[in-house]
Structure 1
Amino acid sequence: MCGRFNIIGGPAINKLMADVMGDAAAPTLATQLNVAPTESVPVVLQNQGNKELHLARWWLTPSWSSGPDTKFSMFNARAEGLESSRAYKGPFHHQRCILPVSSYIEWQKTASGKQPIEIYREDEAIAFAGLWDVWNDELLSCSVVTTAASESMAPIHNRMPVMLDQQGIDLWLDGQSSVEQLQTLFTPNLVYPLMARPVDKAINNARVKELPRAVGEVRELL
């Protein structure tokens, strides 16, 4: 699961954007902190062979639906159910995107309640696998694809976003990739080391648009 993330403008996210778009002059991203579902987020998608940057509402609204609705949780899409989902099957086959992020928040169950944990790469940014759709020819929206947690991630949460390295990015955006090829990206393994640290519970409030404040030790997830 992924319910909040951060985009921090600077060299790390700019490098990821250049890698994703295959262009050293790729657009730069502005800082967005404690981003929550239904907010607008940057996505990179491939259109007629060209990679494009767009803003999308982070809560997928299917093209065939009656419009934006929060009745069903559509900001995460479980990898295991993409082929059987009316909302996700089409986008999985034809409308895949990348969400560039600097870090994301997961909530770990503890004896004293849920503790927010910030998960990030050291000196690098993270590429989430996403799906997109357009409703009424005007609303572009997206969802983050999630899979079972890796062994090192499982103590924090039993789900994690599908995170992609350069090979995975290219495969995910390629319109010619087969379902079988794409499903290899859903294995519960980390494609690069991650760092995890407890952060102040102020981040629980989506109106708090600040950098997470560490309140415990950093540990490495391999």
Structure 2
Amino acid sequence: MCGRFNISMTPGMVGLVDELGVPVTLAERYNIAPTETVPIFYEQDGQRECHLARWWLTPSWSSGPDTKFAMFNARSETLETSRAYKAPFRHKRCVIPCSSFIEWQKTPSGKQPIELYRNEGAIAFAGLWDCWNDELLSCSIVTTEAADSIKPIHNRMPVMLDKAGMDLWLDTNQPTDKLKPLFASELAYDISHREVDAEINNSRNKVLPKTRSL
């Protein structure tokens, strides 16, 4: 799963935005939590756009924003059967940029927050979006079974895309069967990790994650 992430305009993030082909500078954000606003990139009529969306999907057919069901992550295994996700999976796919994200690892002394990141470059999450009542854009991050190197930290991970994966995912002309290889429990690039201070546990702490003091 993914419950917090960060956006920093590092050279890697600038490169990711360039690959997406939308001339935009993203605001730096730290410890982003579900229901907060995040940038998403999607393609319509062959043109890519960047918009802000609420990170907690509100289906177009629903009665409005609700947190009764956890819809900030979407399991790849059920995208075609979920009432909330099956239409966005076909027609409303997006990329959500990330410089690092946080998972909590179970340890004998409690849950330890772990920051996962690329040494070079930024991370592109596969996402889904929808629009409720012609006024609220919202999104969800697609997750899959964790790769072997991630499993000691968490059994799930966001679906992370390289350049070819982004192009495939954003092309709404692609049938969903061609997208399923993107859900493999493999990493599109090397992901490093480090323990960070527990202050990140509080979603009100909008700070750059600090490496844990030993």
Distance of 1:64 and 1:90 partners within structure 2? 11
What TM-score do you get using the length of structure 2 for normalisation? 0.98
Is 1:14 the counterpart of 2:14? The answer is yes
Distance of 2:157 and 2:63 partners within structure 1? 30
Amino acid at match of 1:7: I
The offset of 1:10, in angstroms, is 3.2
Alignment gaps of 5+ in structure 1? 218-222
Contact 2:7 2:28 (C-alpha < 8 Å) held by counterparts: yes
Partner of 2:196: 199
What TM-score do you get using the length of structure 1 for normalisation? 0.94
The structure 1 residue matched to 2:136, chosen from 139, 153, 166, is 139
The structure 2 residue matched to 1:92, chosen from 83, 89, 93, is 89
Question: Deviations 1:139-193 (Å, cap 9, x if unpaired)?
Answer: 0000000000001100000000000001100000001111111001000000100
After the TM superposition, which residues 87-166 of structure 1 pair with which residues of structure 2 at under 5 Å, given as runs?
87-166=84-163
The offset of 1:215, in angstroms, is 1.6
Contact 1:197 1:216 (C-alpha < 8 Å) held by counterparts: no
- Residue 164 of structure 1 aligns to a residue whose secondary structure is coil
Amino acid at match of 2:186: N
Percent of matched pairs sharing the same residue: 61
The structure 2 residue matched to 1:66, chosen from 50, 63, 72, is 63
Is 1:40 the counterpart of 2:11? The answer is no
Distance of 2:193 and 2:50 partners within structure 1? 29
Distance of 1:51 and 1:209 partners within structure 2? 29
The offset of 1:123, in angstroms, is 2.6
Distance of 2:121 and 2:12 partners within structure 1? 5
Distance of 2:47 and 2:190 partners within structure 1? 30
CA RMSD of aligned residues (A): 1.1
Contact 2:37 2:52 (C-alpha < 8 Å) held by counterparts: yes
Distance of 1:47 and 1:180 partners within structure 2? 20
Q: How many pairs align?
A: 214
Amino acid at match of 2:90: H
The offset of 1:216, in angstroms, is 6.7
Distance of 1:204 and 1:101 partners within structure 2? 18
Alignment gaps of 5+ in structure 2? none
Q: Which runs of 4+ in 1 moved over 3 A?
A: none
Distance of 1:11 and 1:122 partners within structure 2? 11
Is 1:183 the counterpart of 2:180? The answer is yes
Partner of 2:5: 5
